[in-house]
Structure 1
Amino acid sequence: MKVCKDVVVTLAYQVKNEDGQMVDESTKDAPLQYLHGHNNLIVGLEAALEGREQGETFDVTVAPEEAYGDYHDAMVQRVPADVFQGVDEIVVGMRFLADTDQGPIPVEVTEVDGDEVVVDGNHMLAGQTLTFSVEVMEMRQATEDEVAHGHIHQEGGSCGSNNDEGCCGDGSCSS
């Protein structure tokens, strides 16, 4: 079997930025499992996995436009501190969901300056070229439910089920 659309792939990986710093990993003890071909990974990594076989290891460098996108200065904004209702102390590094005209987006506090706070809505890896070291550990054909929902289901459950296992746990997701 090769990695292709509608195959569930289990992989271990490490991601390094341009400076060689590890910025993320999924170990063999806690591997990533995803449904291939359903936009569950960044574009560049999913493309590099296409056609790979179980047990294969490889490195791939992914440009920003195929990873988390370019860094956009317009995504950095200075806002009044009082918009953070219910937060006693705002500190650099805090993350929030900001309500926007396009829906909620995650932002990170990058500066606190008196009554103003600078937030950055860029992904923390935006604008960075990333190098992945990947091992394809396992593969299996996806179930009909997984393909229909576009993501994997853990053993014993599926979205909308009444049991306590699976992708939704309490059955609260809607697909």
Structure 2
Amino acid sequence: MKQAQAGDNVQVHYKGTLTDGQPFDSSEGRDPLNFKLGSGQVIKGFDDGVTGMEIGDKKTIHIPNAEAYGPVNEDMVINFERSQIPADIPLEVGGTLNMHQDGGQVIPVVVKEVTDQYVILDANHPLAGQDLIFELELVGIN
């Protein structure tokens, strides 16, 4: 039977959890994830985990944060003076805002802290610094 290799379009059902068992994503109830193996469309550890699987194979992989979304980058935690943010923008801890970079790129940020004097925003990926666990099932290779 054919093993999945770089360049193949693969279809994978998955369940992603943190190391404490908290789920963060799943294909349950949806179509399988379809991507080109080795193309960088998914995190490196996920790509590596699917490589070599055959249709029908199931396995659990552990992905260290370096092969997932990387460690938390403190340079991406930004402290703004409260007065720099327009009063009509809602600021709730845990809420998400969109920042616009020069050139128009939009970056989602999470509100970490709000006081009368400052607002702390975090532009790290929400899963940065986390080791991830995926249950995989390869359902197709094209």
TM-score, normalization by structure 1: 0.71
Q: Secondary structure at the match of 2:20?
A: coil
The reply on whether 1:24 has 2:25 as its aligned counterpart is yes
Match of 2:15 in 1: 14
Asked if 2 retains the 8 angstrom alpha-carbon contact of 1:12 and 1:28, the reply is no
> Aligned to 1:134, which of 122, 133, 136?
136
**Structure 1's 25 and 107: CA in aligned 2 closer, same or farther, altered over 3 A?**
same
Any idea what SS the aligned residue of 1:133 has? strand
Q: 1:130 Cα shift? A: 0.7
Q: Which runs of 5+ in 2 are unaligned?
A: none
After TM superposition, the structure 1 = structure 2 runs for residues 94-105 of structure 1, keeping only pairs within 5 Å, are: 94-100=95-101, 104-105=106-107
C-alpha deviations, 1:116-160, integer Å up to 9, x for none? 2110111111111111101111121xxxxxxxxxxxxxxxxxxxx
Q: SS where residue 65 of structure 1 aligns?
A: helix
Q: Does 1:33 align with 2:34?
A: yes
Aligned residues: CA RMSD = 2.1
Query: Higher strand share goes to which structure?
Result: 2
Deviation, 1:70, is: 0.6
1:119 corresponds to 2:121: yes
Aligned partner letter, 2:48: A
Of stretches 108-117 and 123-132 in structure 1, the one that deviates more from structure 2 is: 108-117
TM-score (norm 2): 0.86
Q: Which runs of 4+ in 1 moved over 6 A?
A: none
Structure 1 unaligned segments of length 5 or more: list them.
141-175
SS at match of 2:112: strand
8 A contact 1:11–1:28 mirrored in 2: no
- Report the number of matched residues: 140
Higher mean displacement: 87-96 or 40-49: 87-96
C-alpha distance in 2 between matches for 1:70 and 1:47: 19
Question: Per the alignment, in what secondary structure is the counterpart of residue 4 of structure 1?
Answer: coil
Instruction: Name the residue aligned to 1:75.
Output: 76
Of all paired residues, the percent bearing the same amino acid is 29
Following superposition, the deviation at residue 85 of structure 1 comes to: 4.0
Greater relative CO (CA pairs within 8 A, separation 6+): 2
What is the CA–CA distance in structure 2 between the aligned matches of 1:114 and 1:20, rounded to whole Å? 37
Note if contact 1:12-1:136 (Cα within 8 Å) is conserved in structure 2: yes
